[in-house]
Amino acid sequence: MGIARAGDIRFGEGRPLALIAGPCVIESEDLCFEVGSKVTEITRALGMPYIFKSSFDKANRTSVDSFRGPGLDKGLEILARVKSELGVPVLTDVHEVWQVEPASLVVDILQIPAFLCRQTDLIVAAARTGKCVNIKKGQFQAPWDMKNSVEKARSTGNDNICLTERGVSFGYNTLVVDMTSLPMLRSLGCPVVFDATHSVQRPGGLGHASGGAREFVPDLVRAAVAVGIDALFLEVHPDPPSALCDAASMLSLADLPEVLADAVAIRRALGAPC
């Protein structure tokens, strides 16, 4: 299994569990700093490597009227300030090839959204930057089929790749997590990330927006850590019901310390690096 590199952080191959966390979308600069500052404080107390995440644009919202974010230029300005002032690596997703180069000048991890995990040109463009590329497994993909996405990225000579499990479609408006997918993804030679918040999403479940069941996030975190992962991906917000994106599935910032403490305790019980 390989090691993913984001700034000074390394995760995978026997390294401590890392956390990728932040609000779903950049609602404001103040929100990013509120969340990023608090999560930095929590993870430092636990000795957990931390990568801030948020999106400058959510291009796959349910409704045309849904809030998408501040856009590329303003979003990257905010992410650059978070990175500089909080001293943490940052992650954001890219949806189109033209976004890759400017985003790569700021962020440490370029994320390929789940719906785009088969988009050859996007994956190749992201990998060619030399930055870490996080490919989220599509809701429609079998874990073993992700080998093709990995090979597309590796065709550029970049082996700084991680794979994220975020649930698979199970009937209409429902996702389910097959925990056996985690070791299957690891067999592809990449560090494995588990996205517990998108895994409780109910895509389009509210008709005009996605629903979710955030109360199950802690359960899925514990299960995934017990099976074996290299990083956790959690979207967090100080007031999830008021969030402008994924309000039903984001974890409350107040609940994060307990969720992470459980994850660390499970790692210790298993004899894994914390």
Residue 169 lies inside a defined structural domain of this protein: yes
Is residue 240, in this structure, part of any structural domain at all?
A: yes
- Count CB-CB contacts under 10 A for residue 103: 23
Phi and psi, residue 3, nearest 5°: -120, 135
For residues 144 and 152, give the distance between their C-alpha atoms in angstroms, rounded to a whole number.
Answer: 14
| Single-letter code of the amino acid located at 82 | V
Is 172 part of any domain? yes
Highest mean pLDDT among 1-5, 192-196, 244-248: 192-196
Rounded-to-10 torsion of CA 151, 220, 169, 103 = -50
Closest by CA position to 56, among listed 67, 45, 41 = 67
At residue 205, does pLDDT exceed 70?
A: no
In a domain, 9, yes or no: no
Task: Compute the mean pLDDT over every residue in the chain, rounded to the nearest whole number.
Answer: 95
Is 3 inside a domain boundary? no
Whether the per-residue pLDDT at 61 is higher than 80: the answer is: no
**Is 10 domain-assigned?**
no
Which residue range is the domain that position 23 belongs to?
A: 15-270
Model pTM score: 0.97
Extract the tokens encoding 260.
């992470």
161, β-bridge pairs? 133
Task: For the beta carbon of residue 29, count every other beta carbon within 10 angstroms.
Answer: 16
Query: Is there a domain that residue 1 lies in?
Result: no
Confidence of residue 130 (pLDDT cuts 50, 70, 90): very high
- Domain-embedded: residue 49: yes
Tell me the per-residue pLDDT of 228-267, one tens digit each, with 9 for 90 and over. 999 999 999 999 999 999 988 999 999 999 999 999 999 9
The per-residue pLDDT for 265 is 98
CB within 8 Å of 112: residues ≥ 6 apart: 93, 94, 119, 122, 123, 126, 133, 134, 135, 136, 149
CATH number of 196's domain: 3.20.20.70
- Number of folded domains that form the chain: 1
